[in-house]
Amino acid sequence: KRLVVLVSGSGTNLQALLDAIDATGAEAYGAQVVAVGADRDGIEGLARAERAGVPTFVRAVKDYATREEWDAALAEAVAAHEPDLVVSAGFMKIVGKEFLARFGGRFVNTHPALLPSFPGAHGVRDALAYGARVTGCTVHFVDDGVDTGPIIAQGVVEVRDEDDESALHERIKEVERRLLVEVVGRLARNGYRIEGRKVVIL
């Protein structure tokens, strides 16, 4: 299966996928990363792709007259690589109608909180501020909401008294990277069905 991965930052989730595919072999893993896209230049996530010899593309919102035009351009750039599955791994933009029309149902996101708790761009900070004793990460299909699509898998991470946002986020990311690698591999190898809010991996 062909994966396109979208990033906006350090790309450690992307790196985990690249390393797993490298170690297991694309055949056995069931997928390969055919391209990496970003909404901005100069991020470590793109450098990781380049080091792995994976083609990259950037579609920055500021380069387009409207959000819709950006959304269509991003969809075009992704479609050019003919993905079976699109993975948002720290991609910090909300995609629109055009993108979802083309990739809905095969667009997966990883979020550093236990959805439906703490959706949005500050899930780690919000869980900490709320005083949650456990938080974690969620891998889900993207729908037209923000972090509201059908949940595929979750991992639990305890919150420690001495945690600040970055310490907690790092501990979440250790779980998140493993969860993403496992889930993407199973979706790619086994296939799946989405039945309302339930995801059935075959």
Annotated catalytic residues are: 111
Per-residue contact string for residues 81-100; x = within reach of ligand GRF by CB under 6 A: --------xx----------
C-beta of 72 vs 138, nearer to ligand GRF: 138
Q: Which of residues 147-186 bind ligand GRF (CB under 6 A)?
A: 173, 176
Would you give the DSSP letter of residue 150?
Answer: P
- β-pair type (32-38, 107-111): unpaired
Asked if 128 touches ligand GRF (CB under 6 A), the answer is no
Asked if 9 touches ligand GRF (CB under 6 A), the answer is yes
> Nearest residue by C-beta to ligand GRF?
90
Asked if 13 touches ligand GRF (CB under 6 A), the answer is yes
Helix axis angle, 12-24 to 44-51, nearest 10°: 20
Asked if 117 touches ligand GRF (CB under 6 A), the answer is no
Can you give 24-85 as a three-state secondary structure string? HCHHHHCCEEEEEEECCCCCHHHHHHHHCCCCEEECCHHHCCCHHHHHHHHHHHHHCCCCCE
Asked if 37 touches ligand GRF (CB under 6 A), the answer is no
Asked if 119 touches ligand GRF (CB under 6 A), the answer is no
What contacts 119, CB < 8 A, 6 or more positions away?
A: 111, 113, 146, 147, 148
Asked if 11 touches ligand GRF (CB under 6 A), the answer is yes
Cα–Cα distance between 43 and 9 in angstroms, integer? Answer: 6
Q: Is 157 annotated as a binding residue?
A: no
Asked if 135 touches ligand GRF (CB under 6 A), the answer is no
Tell me which stretch binds ligand GRF (CB under 6 A): 2-10, 31-39, 47-55, 150-158. 2-10
- 5 forms beta bridges with 36, 87
Q: At 133, is the secondary structure helix, strand, or coil?
A: coil
Q: Is 94 annotated as a binding residue?
A: yes
Instruction: Provide the binding-site residues for ligand GRF, judged by CB under 6 A.
Output: 7, 9-13, 45, 89-90, 110-112, 173, 176
**Which residues does the annotation place in the binding site?**
11-13, 67, 92-95, 109
